[in-house]
Amino acid sequence: MSAPLIIEPATTADSCVIWLHGLGADRYDFLPVAEALQQRLLRTRFVLPQAPTQAVTINGGWAMPSWYDILAMSPARAINQAQLEQSAQAVITLIEAQRDHGIDPRRIFLAGFSQGGAVVYHTAFLRWAGPLGGVLALSTYAPTFGADLKLSLSQASLPVLCLHGSQDNVVLPSMGRVAYECLVQNKVAAEWKEYPMAHEVLPDEIRDIADWLAVRLD
């Protein structure tokens, strides 16, 4: 995997957001968002990793930045589980690097858009065993959540902000709701916010993210 894009704050960082882009995008996709959020979050470092370029079956086998291959869209998305695990491990490596550089894991947040959000869900609730600050899930779904999901006390304590477009025809709002409701059933403090948008990000959404992070980083 390529080195992540790291956006340092104007002052010494005491918190971090690791933000994963979506399918076909790159590590620069959320750079403007990170820069906008840093105007409010003055001590927060943003780490924007780059997905590897690999073939995506549903897109005719064309190679593009992707966290995992999507093999089929229905009846439920079939994915390359091994590639998902590799991406989750890459995120864990980034968490550990920030921890080892002095950032308290309780002030490290995972954020992901679309496919990146699916990796974040999997990492935070099925792979990472230690503390974290919380999870931002943008226009995403959780392909590895199921009725048998069992969370540790640390995982169940993670706050989650789920944000989705009511007009999203790429990742349907119902797919996002399934993940959200699974978390709620497991006593996770998850919030759901829906916006009049498609598969995208709006300024109102970014303001809500800034508010949510500011409360937890105060």
What string of DSSP letters covers 167-182?
Answer: T-SSS-HHHHHHHHHH
| 114 flagged as catalytic | yes
Read off the pTM: 0.97
| 157 flagged as catalytic | no
pLDDT over 90 percentage in the chain: 95
Q: What is the distance between the terminal CA atoms of the chain, rounded to a whole angstrom?
A: 33
Distance of CA 9 to the CA centre of its chain: 20
What is the model's pLDDT at position 56? 96
Helices (H) then strands (E): counts for the chain: 6, 11
Which among 41, 34, 118 has a CA at the least distance from the CA of 77?
A: 118
Side-chain half-sphere exposure of 62, counting CA atoms within 13 A: 7
Evaluate whether 26 touches 115 at the Cβ level (below 8 Å): no
CB neighbourhood size of 181 (10 A):
14
- Selecting among 15, 66, 87, 114, the annotated active-site residue is 114
Cα–Cα distance for residue pair 116/139, rounded to 1 Å: 10
Cα–Cα distance for residue pair 23/26, rounded to 1 Å: 8
Evaluate whether 52 touches 1 at the Cβ level (below 8 Å): yes
What is the model's pLDDT at position 75? 63
Cα–Cα distance for residue pair 129/77, rounded to 1 Å: 26
| 199 flagged as catalytic | yes
Cα–Cα distance for residue pair 66/54, rounded to 1 Å: 6
Q: Domain 5-50+79-217 sits in which CATH superfamily? A: Alpha/Beta hydrolase fold, catalytic domain (3.40.50.1820)
What is the model's pLDDT at position 77? 77
What is the model's pLDDT at position 169? 95
Evaluate whether 45 touches 6 at the Cβ level (below 8 Å): yes
Evaluate whether 98 touches 16 at the Cβ level (below 8 Å): yes
Report residues of the chain scoring pLDDT below 50. Answer: none
Please identify which residue in the block is written with the tokens 């990170």. Answer: 34
